[in-house]
Structure 1
Amino acid sequence: MKQLPTKEQVLEWIKDNPGKSSKRDVARAFGIKGSDRIELKKILKELTDEGHIEKKKRNYTGAGELPPVSVMMVLPPDENGDLFAKPLEWDGEGDGPRALIMAKKGDPALGANDQVLLRLSPSNDPDVKYEGRLIRRIGSGPQRILGIYRVGSEGGRLVPVDKKADREFIVPGAEAGGAKDGELVEAEQIGKQRHAGLGKARIVERLGDPMAPKSISLIAIHQHGIPDHFPDDVVAEAEAAKPVALGDRTDLRALPLFTIDPSDARDHDDAICAIPDDDPKNEGGHVVWVAIADVAHYVRPGSQLDKEARKRGNSSYFPDRVVPMLPDALSGDLCSLHEGVDRACIAVRIVLNAKGRRLHHEFHRGLMRSPASLSYEQAQAASQGKYDSATEPLAGPIKDLFAAYASATKARNERQPLNLDLPERQIVLSDEGVVTSVAFRDRFDAHKLVEEFMVTANVCAAETLEQKRQPLLYRVHEEPSPEKLESLRETAESAGLTLPKGQVLKTANLNKLLDAAAGTEDAEVINLTVLRSMTQAYYGTDNFGHFGLNLKRYAHFTSPIRRYADLLVHRALITAHGWGEDGLRPEDAEGLSDTGDWISQTERRSMLAERDTTDRYLAAFLSERVGNEFSGRVSGIARFGLFVKLDETGADGMIPLSNLGREYWVYDHENKSLKGDRSGRVISVGMPATVRLAEAAPMTGGLLLELIEVGGKPMPKGDSGRRAPSKKRKLVKGRKKKKR
């Protein structure tokens, strides 16, 4: 009989060999065979009973330990944007030890509640027990659903607010969580997803009255997981901030650096002015100053403010509220360039010649004092000689600024950035949160002026950081894919326009197409189709240029109050110029690529939430006009129906194929059109249409329309709820049956 190991020896071996810890592995390690295995079994049972080890299926692990390969559930990103996972099976106290997911190139993007198989290893970070490498994603965790709870005779129902949802859910009585009829709730799916019938859900949070004033944006905020509550330590850090003294900063308080923003702007993070250049070598030129709030002074790397700002990524804007990236003590006060008070800034001095071309530029960390906070309307009126009490003292600086813009416009026209003409919708709410009107914002030269000089300042930031070999995040916009270009070309041809083939695509080519469509009934559709052909802009460390602006290099610098990317560019400029200890840390520079991926995601998250909110407000506004007729234009064609954009509000509504009359409609994917198999009528993108509003659902933002007239021809009246194939189609179907 071989001498058996002691309990201490067995325990030590199990901890040293977590990947080989079955009873057979232990027996093989100590050379235990035959009847001696019974004694080994007793040792393992004693160690288990004493709490030193745990048996998981056929393996043993140290108490409080996870197997080297574990099934885990992904948690929401933390304040640093890192993904952790928790074990799905855990018998100890609490949720069990977490594992930091160490993603490698080629891994799929993971989201909260995803179930994953991870290979675990001990972490060197004292705050993290395990690091996990993805073996494979097993599936998604419990689906989260935002919806309206309805009480039924046998339990309740959950009606999702997402207009893409195609089914309701049963809520068993025990899973209702005290929810009341008509309440907005968040739920999670329970049980397996059914292919037919209704799934089941459990209420996890009650959110109150969905029709309460200004609740529509809250639905989108919650649905898209946008953080809208600042932790106490973040607020305390912001409120402890103090105004900045001049110190070593450049004194810019004598410059007429005023702000121009929307009349309802919540913050003012950029100011501009222009002065005729007195250099005789630059006759007719200007010196343009663009000053941006010095947010980096207040939001220091690694601080609680910094972690929360990175977590949010950007501010989110809704008709009734803003979810800011920074607390109000900063965004609404110390980092807002209010008139008449000293404010810290980072400014760029740009010298333009008479043709608007940039000769040189330089950055300063300064202190400024704005003489006025103007609206676009005020600035535009003043440029035309119509002054008020705020603009009259600035008559000269306003004239100089618009003169500099006139020069910059010459250079812009030579550069040929993409010149889309898409009006911006403005939803006006009453104090109670009810939509009073939907209009399109006026667009003035004052808007274009601010945009042009902000773009110029952003280019200056990218160039300076490249010259100083400082890591940075670029704003990247790649050219359209060949597939999207072909789709655009087909739309243009259907409107009698052309987009040439066989040449390197330039923005000038697209601008020619837009100019040819201008003033025609196809102008809006062509503009929309060009926009849809564009790729999604993103933040990245590799410079692939900005196609839409036709720029070789571009970085976001001008909005650090509301975009984390701009804050990082400010820190990079601080480090590059040696302005202080609040610049870009080496560890932050190394993580720029991951940060770029993260804030690109948060930007898309905000865009989707803002779009969903607009759709819901438009549906609420139109809900009282169900049955009315509207003019519009076909904006999209799909296999299941078509979309029409209403002229009056810009809202999009859907018309299912089943509502297009009795004939069978054939979907042409290449031409994005529908063709009736009896009449031969073709419905394509861009056609004018008259529709009747059949249904408006404020909770989902969905509009259901009935097509009355398209392309100047009325739709035939009759049973609109059926599609009857032609006789030819019936014969074909009959032949198929015979072959069976």
Structure 2
Amino acid sequence: MSTYQSNPPVNSLVLYKVRPARVVSVGEKIEIELDGGQRKRVRPKDVDVLHPGPLQRLADLVPQEGELQAAWELLEGSVTTLQDLAELAFDAYTPATAWATWQLVSEGLIFAGTPTQIEARPREVVDRERAAREAKHAEERDWQDFLARMAAAAPSPGDRERLIEVERFAVGLAEHSRILAALGHQPTPENAHRALVDVGYWPVDHNPYPIRCGVAIQDPSLRVPDLPAEDRLDLTHLLAYAIDDEGNQDPDDAISLDGDRLWVHVADVAALIDPESELEREARGRGANLYLPEGVVNMLPPAATDRLGLGLQEVSPALSFGLRCDEAGEILDVEIHRSWVRVLRVSYQWVEERLDEPPFSGMHACIEPFRSRRQRDGATALELPEVTVRVGVDGVRIAPLPRLLSRALVTDAMLMAGVAASRFCCERGIPIPYATQVLPEGLGTATDLAAMYALRRRFKPTRLATLPERHAGLGLPVYTRVTSPLRRYSDLLVHQQIRAALTGSGGLSEAEVMTRIAAAELSSAAVRRAERLSNQHWKHVFLREHRDWRGEGVVVELDDRRLTVLIPELALETRVRSRDLPGLNDRLRLGITEVDVPALGSGFRIL
């Protein structure tokens, strides 16, 4: 509220907002002059009179020396006016002393109020306020010093606690970062990642994607129950082979041959994981094992693998699928048993060297009609480059995944078990999640890399449904995933439903199955995304460590002079510019131009 209801006199000193002003003229509105010479027309109520004048120039408001502290000590706890305070502190009430007095009052420490009613604040209030201001100033100095250290990439040990804020933003646990904004960075997780690496909070190869994707990064710690005593079919007279990549730690499937009958044995995980148990809920919440280049995070406690992994004990409990296949590729005589099996763990390469020998030659003969039938029924095989990415003490290692007949043999055996399980459940009305896929019309076939790349982009993902529909990509009329219950929740759920049918204990309803699958699919989608982004991350770390890398890329897509190039030895897709316009499937020699690990981006040029 204005000090005066009437207009202030010309050449008086007034307060306009927080600035001093000189009244130039008075009319319906008041014309004032501000420091710097700017003039404004304002209403009388917009100003407070500090001194009636005359004030000829605002430049005359020079600093004054007085006894304001002594004046406060005399007036402590009482109320005064601006004029009385100026006269007490400066022995004079002039425009200059009025302004000097008001500047102190506006600080709000020892005095506070309006020009006509100024309170000399009590000592205890002043002391408390002064301490608070000093603490705030110290905090601000500390904050500015911290920002300076961040800008210079020279943090102190005590800064790590502060940087947790940036880390939370970098991994998606916070929506903003005050520190990142103060440093002038755009608020993106990539910039937060880059800032944390720059100051040494994260190592240069830190992988943020598992946490950013919201997946568990440690194994479950729940207790695993003992295997129940129950009747099992003894199949230990058949040597079963768990065929996998070197170093695999969770062998959950194996195959054996009994005359013309193929057996696919799968770890009997449902024997230990009750559908209503905490273990089941934990597995459902995780959805699948998380396979990272730096290691595996299990869906189930490691003790489950130790007890149930095929070949990890002398004799292993299994759910065994027995079947025959006729010359037309039709699966016949399906049997499913809880069993005991004796398993030998071997590698794909070991089997590859023995495919012409029993029992692998017999397995191949049993499986080949099924494979041929799938191909006749439209199975789509995309032979795009694949690699394994591993991180160890010697750094990042990227190795191509070879196309082996032994790998194809195992794949088809597992598909046969999936078909057998589907038919078993269909015939008995057991609700399970079937894996289905619909392909777009007119896909055709692809024989070269560019065509396979274009074909893959048109694929629709496999979905899970309780109705047994066709999986077009696999060339199968009905199919369910059943051979990885240690590492994939949907397989475990199928096992639980089959086990319930075998024991007559009753299983879940169709609605319950779909509710559980819907929850698990959300989690497994996050797992797949974390795996994909983590693999990309480590590929770019590899390129940063090998900036002299030279390699070959294959043109798989053309867009004006921007080429999409696939680098087979890295299974990495990139975009490059070219003055010339090469053709699809042309091979280009590439070199690195830049690597930006936080942005998952590496630049290449044509050599």
| Deviation string, structure 1 residues 478-520 (Cα, Å, up to 9, x no partner) | 222xxxxxxxxxxxxxxxxxxxxxxx64xxx63xx32xx3xxx
Q: Does 1:697 align with 2:596?
A: yes
Structure 2 distance, partners of 1:684, 1:609, is: 34
Quote how far apart the aligned CAs of 1:319 are: 2.1
Structure 1 distance, partners of 2:413, 2:435, is: 17
Quote how far apart the aligned CAs of 1:198 are: 4.8
Residue 337 of structure 1 corresponds to 310
Structure 2 distance, partners of 1:701, 1:261, is: 30
Contact 1:175 1:201 in 2 (8 A): no
Residue 592 of structure 1 corresponds to 513
Residue 189 of structure 1 corresponds to 175
Q: Does 1:453 align with 2:413?
A: yes
Residue 362 of structure 1 corresponds to 335
Residue 278 of structure 2 corresponds to 304
Structure number with the higher helix fraction is 2
Residue 383 of structure 2 corresponds to 421
Structure 1 distance, partners of 2:550, 2:360, is: 46
1:256 is paired with a residue whose SS is strand
Q: Does 1:249 align with 2:232?
A: yes
1:220-369 correspondence to structure 2 within 5 Å: 220-230=209-219, 232=221, 234=222, 237-238=223-224, 241-245=225-229, 247-276=230-259, 286-331=260-305, 333-338=306-311, 341-369=314-342
1:539-554 correspondence to structure 2 within 5 Å: 539-554=464-479
Structure-2 change in CA distance of 1:337 and 1:580 (3 Å) = farther
Residue 563 of structure 1 corresponds to 488
Structure-2 change in CA distance of 1:686 and 1:248 (3 Å) = same
Quote how far apart the aligned CAs of 1:384 are: 3.9
| Deviation string, structure 1 residues 53-102 (Cα, Å, up to 9, x no partner) | xxxxxxxxxxxxxxxxxxxxxxxxxxxxxxxxxxxxxxxxxxxxxxxxxx
Q: Does 1:441 align with 2:427?
A: no
Amino acid at match of 2:218: H
Q: Does 1:610 align with 2:599?
A: no
Structure-2 change in CA distance of 1:642 and 1:605 (3 Å) = farther
Quote how far apart the aligned CAs of 1:547 are: 1.3
Structure 2 distance, partners of 1:566, 1:264, is: 23
Residue 373 of structure 1 corresponds to 345
2:527 is paired with a residue whose SS is helix
Contact 1:274 1:400 in 2 (8 A): yes
Residue 485 of structure 1 corresponds to none
2:174 is paired with a residue whose SS is strand
Structure-2 change in CA distance of 1:444 and 1:575 (3 Å) = same
Residue 383 of structure 1 corresponds to 355
Quote how far apart the aligned CAs of 1:568 are: 0.9
Structure 2 distance, partners of 1:348, 1:181, is: 53
Structure 2 distance, partners of 1:621, 1:201, is: 24
1:21-40 correspondence to structure 2 within 5 Å: none
| Deviation string, structure 1 residues 350-398 (Cα, Å, up to 9, x no partner) | 022245432221211222222x11111111212245xxxxxxxxxx433
Structure 2 distance, partners of 1:326, 1:556, is: 18
Quote how far apart the aligned CAs of 1:177 are: 4.0
Residue 527 of structure 1 corresponds to 452
Amino acid at match of 2:350: Q
Q: TM-score with structure 1 length normalisation?
A: 0.55
Contact 1:189 1:199 in 2 (8 A): no
Structure 1 distance, partners of 2:264, 2:431, is: 23
Quote how far apart the aligned CAs of 1:646 are: 2.3
Structure 1 distance, partners of 2:272, 2:333, is: 29
Contact 1:320 1:433 in 2 (8 A): no
Q: Name the structure, 1 or 2, with higher relative contact order (CA <8 Å, separation 6+).
A: 2
Structure 2 distance, partners of 1:466, 1:566, is: 16
Amino acid at match of 1:550: G
Residue 645 of structure 1 corresponds to 566
Structure-2 change in CA distance of 1:354 and 1:642 (3 Å) = closer
Structure 1 distance, partners of 2:341, 2:161, is: 55
Structure 1 distance, partners of 2:496, 2:165, is: 51
Quote how far apart the aligned CAs of 1:225 are: 1.1
Contact 2:431 2:508 in 1 (8 A): no
1:188 is paired with a residue whose SS is coil
Structure 2 distance, partners of 1:189, 1:638, is: 36
Residue 203 of structure 2 corresponds to 211
Quote how far apart the aligned CAs of 1:637 are: 5.8
Contact 2:165 2:177 in 1 (8 A): no
Structure-2 change in CA distance of 1:406 and 1:189 (3 Å) = closer
1:421 is paired with a residue whose SS is coil
Structure-2 change in CA distance of 1:362 and 1:224 (3 Å) = same
Q: Does 1:632 align with 2:556?
A: no
1:472-491 correspondence to structure 2 within 5 Å: 472-480=432-440
Q: What is the aligned residue count?
A: 451
- Give structure 2 stretches of 5+ with no counterpart: 1-144
- Give structure 1 stretches of 5+ with no counterpart: 1-150, 160-170, 277-285, 386-395, 481-503, 518-522, 662-680, 709-740
Structure 2 distance, partners of 1:219, 1:569, is: 33
1:591 is paired with a residue whose SS is helix
Structure 2 distance, partners of 1:200, 1:360, is: 61
Structure-2 change in CA distance of 1:319 and 1:410 (3 Å) = same
Structure 2 distance, partners of 1:231, 1:623, is: 34
Structure 2 distance, partners of 1:302, 1:575, is: 13
Structure-2 change in CA distance of 1:177 and 1:571 (3 Å) = same
Amino acid at match of 1:296: A
Larger-Rg structure: 2
Structure-2 change in CA distance of 1:660 and 1:529 (3 Å) = closer
1:652 is paired with a residue whose SS is strand
Structure-2 change in CA distance of 1:200 and 1:547 (3 Å) = closer
Quote how far apart the aligned CAs of 1:290 are: 1.0
Structure-2 change in CA distance of 1:640 and 1:228 (3 Å) = farther
Quote how far apart the aligned CAs of 1:188 are: 2.2
Amino acid at match of 1:441: L
2:604 is paired with a residue whose SS is strand
Structure 2 distance, partners of 1:427, 1:620, is: 11
Structure-2 change in CA distance of 1:473 and 1:180 (3 Å) = closer
2:521 is paired with a residue whose SS is helix
Quote how far apart the aligned CAs of 1:624 are: 3.9
Compute the RMSD of aligned alpha carbons: 3.8
Structure-2 change in CA distance of 1:178 and 1:292 (3 Å) = same
Structure 2 distance, partners of 1:209, 1:256, is: 52
Contact 1:256 1:397 in 2 (8 A): no
Q: Identity of aligned pairs, percent?
A: 23
Structure 1 distance, partners of 2:468, 2:326, is: 28
